[in-house]
Amino acid sequence: MQFRYAVTGVAIVLSLAGCQRTSYSGYNSGYSAAPLQAQPVPSVQAGQLPAPGAGGSQFPAAPAAAPNVASMPGADQLGATALDVTKESMVGSWRVSSAGNTCDMFLTLTNLGSGSRGGTRGCVGELTAMGSWEVEGKQVLLKDRSGNPIGRVYKTADSRFDGSTNSGQPISLSR
């Protein structure tokens, strides 16, 4: 019977020994981190939420209809002589020239609404809002983050596209 008590006692001592904190490095001994300082929290506003289905939709409004391409400056000439374009041939990085500035445009095949995800870096004007793009016939439609058209380009040569923004600013893409 005493043997059973001895084994139980040893088991308890070994179990408690496993709960001790050990340090494998002399650098951590005696170190304690300073407590974090409290940060200010903005006030919380309370109010009643509208009933489901009341006061509008939870979905954003549909994009506005694309402007008439024929009304854009030079669209007749570009559209008439444009080369065929595929979505796959557009994917990747493009150098953009618009309004005397150059910037970068990146086009992917990742779906975003009715188009594919795209974006710009270092651009000015309307192109700063670009969020997606889409191929429609022989034109490449550039859209903002809400899906509204901001410009369009046509393939005019191998690795070159020309067109304009909605405001009539000429735009060229090249690799």
Query: What integer pLDDT is reported at residue 57 of this predicted model?
Result: 58
Pick from 144, 163, 153: nearest CA to 89: 153
Query: What integer pLDDT is reported at residue 62 of this predicted model?
Result: 57
In whole angstroms, what is the distance from residue 46 CA to residue 103 CA?
Answer: 45
Pick from 154, 155, 102, 153: nearest CA to 125: 102
Query: What integer pLDDT is reported at residue 107 of this predicted model?
Result: 95
pLDDT(154) > 80: yes
In whole angstroms, what is the distance from residue 132 CA to residue 148 CA?
Answer: 9
Contacts of 174 (CB under 8 A, 6+ apart): 94, 95, 97, 159, 160, 161
Query: Greater confidence, 50 or 25?
Result: 50
pLDDT single digits (tens) 37-60? 777 777 777 777 666 665 555 555
In whole angstroms, what is the distance from residue 159 CA to residue 107 CA?
Answer: 14
Q: Compute φ and ψ for 134, nearest 5 degrees.
A: -160, 145
In whole angstroms, what is the distance from residue 40 CA to residue 117 CA?
Answer: 38
Mean pLDDT (the chain) is 79
Percent of the chain with pLDDT over 70: 69
Band of pLDDT at residue 23, cut at 50, 70 and 90: low
Q: Out of 59-63, 64-68, 105-109, 153-157, pick the least confident.
A: 64-68
DSSP annotation of 22 reads -
Domains, in order of start, for the chain: 69-174 (2.40.128.10)
Band of pLDDT at residue 69, cut at 50, 70 and 90: very low
Mean pLDDT for 7-12 is 79
